[in-house]
Chains A and B, each alone.
Chain A
Amino acid sequence: MLTKAISAGAFLVPFLSLVSGAAQPGLNNVWWGLGLALVFLGATGALLVKDLDRPDRFLNVLLRPQWGSWLVRGGYAISVYGALVALNGLFLLLNIRVLEMALIWVTAIAAVIVAIYTAFLFAQAKGRDFWQSPALSLHMLVHSVMAGAAAFGILSFFQDAQADWTRFLITVLIAGLSVNLFTIILEIVTPHPTVDAKAVVKMIVKGRYRRLFWFGVMAFGNILPLVLLSAAGSEPMVLAASGLVVLIGIYLTEHIWVEAPQRIPLV
């Protein structure tokens, strides 16, 4: 999920800067974005195949499709996104300007689907009450944008970046972290309708995940980068370190969000 978030975010962050007009990412960063998107999408695909019980049969998922399943829809979303990112690269390389904006918009929509389809896949696991939350897709979209900005933040340490681009990254990260904290707190304090979902919240807040959650996710993964970026985000070193911390924070959050609900016995 982290690699997927980086892949989608690597396209979405330059896209946002372009459409909002907040900053110019520059050709260099656009290439980096496309490259990161493809590399991390490849990594996502490899990890997904490896995670199957029978990796040798992964083609069956795509080629004998059960269209009702978000596993299949997600598989196609990843494939289509990959193709679109590659097409963007081709347009850029050959300097084709026809339908350029349309392509960018379509790719951005594909990136959003790649970022959030897992929420729908999880929701199809009807026995896992905690995954039935409607906030799950928002949670994943925010992670994706944060991950993309964090990756560019780390990248900016190794190259000269425009000030407005760096500012844009800091803004996106601070906004992302704030929304992220808000959704996490919402997930925890909203009364859940079922016993199993309540049990998961208890497990995260007071149970076996409490240290990982409070220290790893909340303090280290969210509040620390929020403070660092607010105080001295324009320092390339601080931005890069915050980016790294954000990525670790996302990894820890996803680890808990994936694992904890599955610890509830189904019978």
Chain B
Amino acid sequence: MNHKRHHTLIEQIAEKIGLIPNLHQETETPLDRLTEPGHLTNFPPPEKWDDWVEYEAKDWPRLSKKHYTIVPTTCFNCEAACGLTAFIDKETGQVRKFEGNPYHPASRGRNCAKGPATINQITDPDRILYPMKRKGERGEGQWERVSWDEALDDIAARIRKALLEKRNNEVVYHVGRPGHEGYMDRVLQSWNVDGHNSHTNICSSGARFGYSIWYGYDRPSPDHANADFIFLISAHLESGHYFNPHAQRIIEAKMKGAKLAVLDPRLSNTASMSDYWMPSYPGTEAAVLLAIAKILLDEGLYNRAYMEKWVNWQDYLKKMHPGVDVTFENYILKMQEEYQEFTPEFAEKESGVKATMIVDVARQIGKAGERFSTHNWRSASSGNLGGWAVSRCLHFLNVLTGSVGTVGGTSPSAWNKIKPKFFDTPPAQTFWNELHFPKEYPLAFFEPSFLLPHFLKEGRGRMEVYFTRVFNPVWTYPDGFTWIEALSSEQMIGMHIALTPTWNETAFWADYVLPMGLASERHDLNSYETHSGVWIAFRQPVLREAARRNGKPVTFTYEANPGEVWEEDEFWIELSWRIDPDGSLGIRKHFLSPYRPGEKINVDEYYQYIFENIAGLPEAARNARPDGTRLHEAVWRF
């Protein structure tokens, strides 16, 4: 195929005499082509990242060259942490655009719209650029700019006083989007506070519970790419955890011939791509799943070898059917009896999904056997009373087909995730905070955080220092007005600090609004079960890395970021030192450099230690950079 466009005589003459812009001018030194014409290169090759030159689109038709330094980071606009590359204009020192990072193992350079949109966030004219302290009453909307030092000293003094007075339970950190691996648990343990609260109970804890009671892991890791049959509850092509890495792999599998079934009342984008759209009435998912289970049992489509080995069928028979011989055949008979009411016709009546389709899907699942991947996260599990049974019934199908931990099956989350080794692990807390885990809810799976303001109103406790971090309960929780009541009371909450990259309704009720970085302005470690594989990714403040490459390293990230936008990692180190200025509380010792004895750890050392202790990573980095670049330098760069 000829990709050269014919340059007509008319065009040549018109360009020569200046009637139309000259698009065929030669520059003194044109940019090298990366490939032959007709072939495409999706990404700048990494060896050119330090000085990437491309023509400036805005100068059209002039061929002017723009020099960039390209710094990798990860997205912070959902939990998946897909790879981004920041294009930093060498002239202005500003981030000009974001593209996908082709070397990110989960996203592989393909991002959803939220990734490149980070540029809108960092240049948002209304963003908070400096630490703000409230003036007047809480919630009055009056703010004054303060320095990081003032804010740190004030907050540290409050926490120190609470700890000295054994009011450890009055220090609370409440997180919406974590986006890191274990950082905060370590900090809270070092303070000896049981201070972690999360948003999980209005989110995924229903599904997590259903999975957890099967095998102790609270999340699935479906290997969609290698599956023959994929079963999704809700719209995992466009929403939910890791939808972008999942979507790529689901479509890959479909292109190899896999079939996709989607149980979703909506004709979502995912449902529209499915081979079997099963629009069930909300809350009836479990009936459909159990009808499928019944067909697998009745038609002998289960995986006998797997079940004999991994299911405690002997215990089941002995306990539930004491008079029956303990044989696998009897177990199957009893299971068939157990599920006999869940006929496809019953499921159709309950759910509205046609019985014939249920039978067809069940047989396809049976045929796929070990190559059967499934996923349920929020939707049906969080939207219905007893929603945990949805993920439980779904995983039942994986158990019946023996597709647990197989190629193309569904693995436990932790199989595809790295747990970092820290330079220091403080002992467990000696306190139990009943505002988070009240004793009358012993089976609560994650903190019943939606009850927190009600507990405060009942007088079960108070919070002297309350951090909300990328967390906006006034807007996202049911009953936001109760949150406003609690947040506006200094009796219930002594000091509220909102750690946030953006203004939000909860930050409005804070004493301090402390601006924390967006995707390209912060350090974090990411490792998630996006596919069958273990990976680790590094989120980093790209302007800080650019400054380092430029030979002008900074001490703190806020020196490189826009305004004085900071990041939590360094904030917690500084705050912890100020809570324990003389080391007498035993906190400071957990924030000492593993490389410079007696001195305060810095954020580079924190990650250097982790990277050095990840099996295989130092070798991989050496191979990638045979010129002897230090490990963490290789990570910064690539």
Are A65 and B8 closer than 8 Å at their CB atoms?
Answer: yes
A63 to chain B, nearest CB (A): 4
Once the chains bind, are A60 and B20 in contact (CB under 8 Å)? yes
Q: Which residues of B contact A63 (CB under 8 A)?
A: 10-11, 14, 19-20
Residues of B within 8 A of A (CB-CB), count:
6
Residues of B within 8 A of A59 (CB): 14, 19-20
A residues 55-78 touching B (CB-CB < 8 Å)? 59-60, 62-65
Q: Which A residues are CB-close (under 8 A) to B14?
A: 59, 63-64
Interface size on A, residues (CB 8 A): 6
CB neighbours (8 Å) of B20 from chain A are: 59-60, 63-64
CB of B446, distance to nearest CB on chain A (Å): 44
Q: Residues of A contacting B8 with CB < 8 Å?
A: 64-65
Instruction: Give Cα A65 to B11, complex, Å.
Output: 7
Chain B minimum-CB-distance residue to A60:
B20
Bitwise, B1-26 to A at CB < 8 A (1) or not (0) is 00000001011001000011000000
Taking the closest CB of chain B, its distance from the CB of A45, in whole angstroms, is 16
Q: Which residues of B contact A60 (CB under 8 A)?
A: 20
Residues in B neighbouring A64, C-beta threshold 8 A = 8, 10-11, 14, 20
In the bound complex, CA of A65 to CA of B8 (Å): 8
* A64 to B61 Cα, complex, angstroms: 14
CA A60 to CA B14, docked complex, whole Å: 9
Residues from chain B with a CB closer than 8 A to the CB of A65 are 8, 10-11
Instruction: Tell me, in angstroms, the Cα distance from A62 to B10 when the chains sit together.
Output: 9
How far apart sit A64 and B7, CA to CA, in the bound complex (Å)?
8
Cα–Cα, bound, A59→B20 (Å): 7
Please measure, in the bound complex, the distance between the C-alpha atom of A65 and the C-alpha atom of B12, giving whole angstroms: 11
In the docked arrangement, what's the CA distance between A64 and B20, Å? 9
Q: A141 to B144, alpha carbons, bound, how many Å?
A: 74
In the bound complex, how far is the Cα of B14 from the Cα of A147, in angstroms?
Answer: 36
B602 to chain A, nearest CB (A): 53
CA distance A59 to B11 in the complex (A): 10
Nearest-CB residue, chain A, relative to B13: A63
Proximity bits, A20-60, B CB within 8 Å = 1, else 0: 00000000000000000000000000000000000000011
- Nearest-CB distance from A146 to chain B (Å)? 35
Q: How far is the CB of A185 from the nearest CB of chain B, in Å?
A: 43
**Distance (Å) between the CB of B393 and the closest chain A CB?**
38
List the A residue with the shortest CB-CB distance to B11: A64
Q: How far apart are the CA atoms of A65 and B5 in the complex, in Å?
A: 12
Contacts of B19 in A (CB 8 A): 59, 63
- B11 CB to closest chain A CB (Å) equals 5
B25 to chain A, nearest CB (A): 15
User: What residues of chain A lie closer than 8 Å to B11, measured between beta carbons?
Assistant: 63-65
Chain A positions 81-126 with a Cβ under 8 Å from a chain B Cβ: none
Cα-based distance from A101 to B104 in the complex (angstroms) = 74
Distance in angstroms from A72 CB to nearest chain B CB is 10
A62 to B19 Cα, complex, angstroms? 11
Interchain CA distance A60-B8 in the complex, whole Å: 12
A249 to B47, CA, bound (A): 68
CA distance A60 to B11 in the complex (A): 9
A62 and B8 CA atoms in complex are apart in Å by 11
Q: Which residues of B contact A62 (CB under 8 A)?
A: 10
Q: Which of B465-494 contact A (CB under 8 A)?
A: none
Q: Would you give the shortest CB distance from B275 to chain A, in whole angstroms?
A: 22
Cβ < 8 Å to A, chain B residues 384-434: none
Which residues in chain B, 18-39, are within 8 Å of chain A measured between CB atoms? 19-20
CB distance from B471 to the nearest CB of A (A): 41
A83 shortest CB reach to chain B, Å: 15
A59 and B8 alpha carbons, distance in the complex (Å) = 14
Q: Give A77 to B20 CA distance when docked, in angstroms.
A: 20
A63 to B17, CA, bound (A): 11
Q: Please name the residue on chain B nearest to A67 by beta carbon.
A: B8
Chain A's closest residue to B23 (CB) is A64
CB A74 to nearest CB in B, in angstroms, measures 16
Q: Which residue of B lies closest to A63 (CB)?
A: B14
**Chain A: CB-nearest residue to B17:** A63
Smallest beta-carbon distance A57→chain B, Å: 8
Identify which of A60, A62, A64, A65 gathers the most chain B CB atoms within 10 Å of its CB: A64
Please measure, in the bound complex, the distance between the C-alpha atom of A62 and the C-alpha atom of B11, giving whole angstroms. 9
Distance in Å: Cβ of A125 to nearest Cβ of chain B: 23
CB distance from A79 to the nearest CB of B (A): 12
Chain A residues closer than 8 Å to B10, beta-carbon distance = 62-65
Determine how close the nearest CB of chain A comes to the CB of B568; give it in whole angstroms: 46
Interface string of A172-191 (1 = CB under 8 A from B): 00000000000000000000
CB distance from B557 to the nearest CB of A (A): 44
Best-surrounded residue of A59, A60, A63, A65 (most CB of chain B within 10 A): A63
Closest residue of chain B to A57 (Cβ to Cβ) is B20
User: Chain B nearest CB: distance from A54 CB in Å?
Assistant: 13
Closest CB-CB distance, A55 to chain B, in whole Å? Answer: 14
Bound-state Cα–Cα, A237 to B11, Å: 51
How far apart sit A62 and B20, CA to CA, in the bound complex (Å)?
A: 10
Query: Roughly how many angstroms separate A64 CA and B19 CA in the complex, as a whole number?
Result: 11
Closest chain A residue, CB of each to CB of B6: A67
Nearest CB of chain B from residue A71's CB, rounded to whole Å: 15
Measured CA separation A6–B333 after assembly (Å): 89
Q: How far is the CB of A65 from chain B (nearest CB, A)?
A: 6
- Taken together as a complex, chains A and B put the C-alpha atoms of A105 and B20 apart, in Å, by 34
- Bound-state CA distance A65–B14 (Å) is 11
Cα(A63)–Cα(B19), bound, Å: 8
Chain A proximity of B489: nearest CB distance (Å)? 54
A61 to chain B, nearest CB (A): 10
In the assembled complex, how far is the CB of residue B14 from the closest CB belonging to chain A, in whole angstroms?
4
Compute how far the CA of A147 lies from the CA of B8 in the bound complex, rounded to whole angstroms.
Answer: 37
A267–chain B nearest beta-carbon distance, Å? 13
Encoded as 1 (CB less than 8 Å from any B CB) or 0, chain A from 234 to 259 comes to 00000000000000000000000000
List A residues 128-151 near B (Cβ within 8 Å).
Answer: none
Nearest chain A residue, comparing its CB with the CB of B21: A60
> How distant is B15 from chain A, measured CB to nearest CB, in Å?
8
Q: Which residue of B lies closest to A76 (CB)?
A: B10
Q: Nearest Cβ in chain A — how far from B60, in angstroms?
A: 12
Q: A65-B10, A65-B11 are in contact. List 16 more A-B contacts (CB 8 A).
A: A59-B14, A59-B19, A59-B20, A60-B20, A62-B10, A63-B10, A63-B11, A63-B14, A63-B19, A63-B20, A64-B8, A64-B10, A64-B11, A64-B14, A64-B20, A65-B8
**A-B contact list, 8 entries, CB within 8 Å:** A63-B14, A63-B20, A64-B10, A64-B11, A64-B20, A65-B8, A65-B10, A65-B11
The 7 lowest CB-CB distance pairs between A and B, nearest first, are A63-B14, A63-B20, A64-B11, A59-B20, A59-B19, A60-B20, A63-B10
User: Which residues does A use to contact B, with CB under 8 Å?
Assistant: 59-60, 62-65
